Structures are given as C-alpha cells and as structure tokens.
Structure 1
C-alpha cells in the first residue's frame, strides 16, 4: 500500500523484488489513485519476472520520466525537459524494445531539416544517457540504438576582439545610462575568462581580496569542478569598484554584481547588444568575451594547458581551438629540424671526404 513521508506530498510504493528484497520507490505523484495504479503495475511486473522470467515492456515515456525524476538536480535539467519534448514528438508511446537504428536515423532526418547537427547530437545524447542510466540503475534490459550514431559537428566557434576594439566596446558600455554595470562586467570577463553566469552569480564570500582570487565552487561552474581565478590589476580594480558601490548603496548585499537595492543582476544582453551596435562590432556575443580572453593569452604565448586551467575546460582539446593563434610556437618547434638537417648534411659530407682519402 502506498505511503507518504513526513517531508513530502509524494506517494511511495513498497514491494518485494524477485529476490525477496524490499523495494521502496517514489511514484512521483501526489495523487493516491495514480500511486495505487503504479504500485499495482510494479508488483505485477515483479510477479511475472519471478514466475516466468518475463521482462516488462518499457516505453519511451516511462524511461524519460524515471530518468528526469532521478536527475532533477542537474544544472541542465531545464534543457533536458526541453529536449525530451522534442524527442517525445517522435518516440512518444513507443516501446523501447521496438526501437532500432532505423528509428534513430528517422529522427535524425526529421530534425536535421530544422536544426544543426550539434542540436541533434545533444537531443540524442540525452536519450542515450537515459537508456544507459536505466540499464545500470534500474537493471532494465533494453537496447541502446543511439550508440555510435553521433553526427559530425563543425569546429567550435571562435570570435574575438582586438584590444583596440575591446577598448571601444568598454567605452561605449560606460556611456549607457540604462546599463551602469555593463562596463565593469565586460572588463572582468575579458581579464578572467569567466562565463557570464559565473560573474553574475559571484558572491562576496568567494572573493579573496588579500590573495587577489575569486573562487568558483563546483556548483557554480559548467564542468562541476572547483577552480580559483587569479585577479590581474585590471580585474582587481573592477572588484574594488564593485566593493565601493556596495559600501555606498547596499552594504548587506551578497552579490558582487547587484543593483542599488542589493539584488543580483540578471541578463545584460540588451545593454551588451546596444554597446556592440554603437561601436559597429557585429556577430559578437557575451560568451565571446571569454573567447577573447583565451585568444589574447594564447597569442601572448601562454601554454594551452595553463589557459585550460584558467578557463576551467575539462580537457585541453577544448582549448586547442585557440592553438592557431600562436603560430610562433609551432615555428619555433619546426626550427629545431633545421639544426638536425644541417648537422646531418655536414656529417654526410665529412664521411664522403674520409672515404675519398682512404681510396
């Protein structure tokens, strides 16, 4: 019989699995009739599995509901819900055992006419993750027809500004009365390589003025990895400016980027687009400030591994998109061959002279 926990309105089911082990499982609903129906369904499936080793048929909807409930704390949960809606339009109501490569190819064909290969890959990756999760965590014996069907994606976009253009953008931003915090935001992004939400979500407790560092905990980063970002002179000046603003207007605010009332700032896209428009800078997004920081570092000869650590890339492969900005590093590497080639040629000439004397 379904039951409720003290801290939740959701009904839970309790039944014995085929081995006799007690299973307690959330029904995901606060409706008693739905909970009764789910518990009865699970008990029947367990009975059939125990008596006749009959595996229950799993549907796409059942799979995605179970997966989304189990992963609702993911940062990408909202995007997962949106992608599931796209997948459901094609796979909804289907039994997972009946899905095969032909169905996946059909989905790819239907979506490629509307979206990029990258978008299709993200949607299919979600389905594949859900299947693998169910196979491992729920021991569902279902195939994964998505495996090995990733589409080729174009090389990652790299759009960056010259220091001169960046200076003009900062100047334009500083003159926008409706975006008084935009200039400071741009300067900090250019000098730290942080993502937009890493900056806007920065709290004062994670700013170490003495060590000139800002700390990004795992929960604040896209890669779910903690990292510390050093502040150069320009970034440090921005932090001090924000500290003075806080002291003057909202001393109790926890946010580095806040309004006069101490409330965290939301998106700065409108002001950013306006600043780009005023300076004649086209095809440039807020995230490209991060690309610009990386491009400047690589052009200055900073090793890719160090740029990777600063930006918080999970692998150096993501950082390699900037490698072409440091051709001098490669030129210095191949120059080593000149020495080897000349040395080898000199040795060969000496050997021939020695042979002639001996003759």
Structure 2
C-alpha cells in the first residue's frame, strides 16, 4: 500500500447516509457491493494486506420503487427557495419527467419548439436509446423565456448541482423525504391532476421507465 489513509467502516457508513439523500437504497446497495467486490479481489487475487470495510457495515436492503409525491404546498416552498435558474430546471422536470442527467446535458440543438418536442439522443438517456419528450405549454414557456438559442446548454447546471439545490431547499423548508428523482413521479400526477391528454401521461410514464 502507498500509505494513504485506508477506508474505515465509518467512512462507508457516512457514504451510505450521504448517498441515500439522493438515490434509492437499491442503488446504494449496488454501490457498496461493488466496493466490496473490489476489496475482495485485492485480498484474494492480489494478496494485499487490507481489510474490507464494507463487511462491518449494514448494507441497505433492496426496496420497493419510490412513489413520493409532494403536495402543492411542499412544491411551492421548494420552488421559492431555489435560484431563478434552478426554479426553471425543477419546473421543467415537473413538466417533462426528464432525469437529472438529461436536464444537465440538455442542449438547444435538441429542442424543437415548433413541434413542441425535445429529441433526446441516446448518448444522454439512461436506456441508451433516442427518445422524444413532448412539451407542455408551461415547458414551452420556460424555454421561450430562456432563449431560444440554436446551440449550447439550456440550463447550465450539473447533476450534482441539481441534487444539492433540492437538498438545501428541503432542509430549509422542512420538506421531508423528497428527492430530485421524485420529480419524475410527480410529473405523472401533475398530468393526471390537470386532466391532460392520455398521450402526455403515456409519454411521461415511458420517460420514467425508459
């Protein structure tokens, strides 16, 4: 070993707690198990004299998919406690059910306002396939107010920036157990509550699954 500080069970526990703020327990479980396999490889195959810190921590169990939906009051509090730019990001997410990575990488060249659609290339989608995202009137309004431009980032944000903004807003407002990931589920409830057409609900559902 090179003398650098070895990870301890406390380090792993702290990592788990921090990670659970942004992602599901199933995702955290995969992260910790991957790290455990890394240590086991080092011990068994490379014969390094190290301890596997993951063996002394409680690994999150697999959980059911989250279905947390914020109330209108909770959403208002969150939106009132983020920057104007991040408010656009959150409201656009609520209108389109797009993922954090898709929002962070959204470029004006993917936006087609005349057709009221965003064409996401497979390079930025989780399912690694092209996907068309229909735009509601509110989503179109958000984009019009920001441009439109021919190229360049639409929101100029990062994935971590989106998560951090949500976390700070929830702490400040006292909103419990709500994550950026939950806005995707919120989008379907949003469409249903407004009585939007079935195609919008179906598209949002595909966006959540795919």
Q: Does 1:313 align with 2:209?
A: yes
Greater relative contact order: 1 or 2 (C-alpha under 8 angstroms, separation 6 or more)? Answer: 2
Change (3 A) 1:270 1:84: closer
8 Å CA contact retained: 1:182, 1:272? no
Query: How much has 1:222 moved relative to structure 2?
Result: 0.7
CA RMSD of aligned residues (A): 3.3
Q: Does 1:283 align with 2:180?
A: no
Secondary structure in 1 aligned to 2:118?
Answer: strand
Secondary structure in 2 aligned to 1:160?
Answer: coil
Q: Does 1:114 align with 2:64?
A: no
Q: Does 1:219 align with 2:120?
A: no
Select the residue among 35, 41, 66 that pairs with 1:157. 66
8 Å CA contact retained: 2:94, 2:190? no
- What residue is the counterpart of 2:93 in the other structure? 189
What is the rounded CA distance, in whole Å, between the counterparts of 1:161 and 1:277 in structure 2?
15
Gaps of 5+ in 1: 1-79, 95-106, 118-152, 174-178, 247-251, 259-263, 315-359
What is the rounded CA distance, in whole Å, between the counterparts of 1:230 and 1:189 in structure 2?
12
8 Å CA contact retained: 1:188, 1:238? yes
TM-score (norm 1): 0.41
Change (3 A) 1:279 1:185: same
CA deviation string 1:283-329 (max 9, x = no partner): 211111112113334565958755432x1514xxxxxxxxxxxxxxx
8 Å CA contact retained: 1:216, 1:226? yes
Query: How much has 1:217 moved relative to structure 2?
Result: 1.1
Change (3 A) 1:81 1:228: same
Q: Where do residues 1-359 of structure 1 align in structure 2 (5 Å cutoff)? A: 84-92=34-42, 93-94=44-45, 111=55, 113-117=57-61, 153-173=62-82, 179-243=83-147, 254-258=152-156, 265=158, 267-297=161-191, 302=198, 306-309=203-206, 311-314=207-210
Gaps of 5+ in 2: 1-29, 46-51
- What residue is the counterpart of 1:58 in the other structure? none
